[in-house]
Amino acid sequence: MNATITSKTNTSNPPEHWKKEETVFTGDDLIDAYVKGKEEGKDEFLKILAKQFNDNIVIATSVSEKLLEEAEKLNIKFDGIRIKAEGITKFIALFLTNEVDFISDKFRRIYTLSRKLKNQSESASFYITFSFIPVTNNLNEKSLSSDGFFLKYEKE
Amino acid sequence: MKRNEDKLKHALHNELVCNYLALQTDFPDWIITSAFYTSLHFISYKVFPFEAPSIEGGKTKIECIDDFMRNKGDKRLSKHELLSNLASKKCKDILEDYDWLLNMSMTARYTNYYQSIPVANKAISIMKKIKKYCIA
């Protein structure tokens, strides 16, 4: 999307417990504007798109936190969540986990839950994919950043 | 409808590669990748062909993921996501297993392509489970 975004004030803050990663490359002007905290401009169409995007961020973060809660009930603890947007309506939530849980039989239940949450939240204006990654000490932050993972879950 | 035997041949071909790599301990990343692409073709063998309502009306034969992408797919989704969504309807018993392998394939770059032997072994066992389900 090639939209002209004017740099004014920060009007879009992430939901509680989430932090913006401001050095990411998203390849999308509207998403960039959100990440960099730029105002969406005066254009009515852009305002509508920006509102849609903000609404979808709220959905993406809340369903991700829901999966986090459900995983805790199964004694599966995630070490973090990152979110990227592939446009205004499509999101990917990447959950960082440990290898022991990841290869255990109980992790199958996480895929069942994530599919359920994905289907429940899906609409013409919102789509999310949940992804999981076993991490030791080899997380490639540069790759995450260049792929546009702009939100990070930070609740203690 | 007659299944596409070429898909099965492709799956079995990839399985040979996966089994060959598994004889050694140096390539867990490629074991996972080959297990995924073996499973993808087993799933395709199981899922296709089928009939679906066509855009123009009537019914059309969907023989592969490319047909599905053109005729029915949500344009936001990749072919991998579409196949996974098809598996959620037509291969319910092994959906979580396929999603596990798909997930591993999609996220490898975020761990510098490092994978451990236990994760590779899990990928092989999942692939064998998917094979058993799909060619039954």
| pLDDT for the residue numbered B56 | 76
Sign of CA dihedral A135, A137, A138, A143: positive
Beta strands A90-97 and A127-134 are: parallel
Cα dihedral B40/B45/B48/B49 (nearest 10): 150
Nearest by CB: A135 against B77, B99, B111: B111
The residue among A104, A114, A138 with the most chain B CBs within 10 A of its CB, best to mutate, is: A138
Residue that has been written with the tokens 């066509």 in this structure: B54
Tell me the pTM.
0.90
Cβ pair B81:A129 closer than 8 A: yes
* Domain residue extents for chain A: 18-153
CATH number, domain A18-153, options 1.20.1050.10, 3.40.50.720, 3.30.300.20, 1.10.490.10: 3.30.300.20
Residue B117 has pLDDT above 50, yes or no: yes
Which domains are delineated in chain B?
A: 5-48+81-135 (1.20.120)
Written as tens digits, the pLDDT of chain A (156 aa) is 444 444 443 457 899 999 998 888 888 888 888 887 776 566 788 888 889 999 999 999 999 999 999 999 999 999 999 999 999 999 999 999 999 999 999 999 999 999 999 999 999 999 999 999 998 778 999 999 999 999 999 876
Is residue B75 very low, low, confident or very high in pLDDT (cuts 50, 70, 90)?
A: confident
ipTM confidence: 0.90
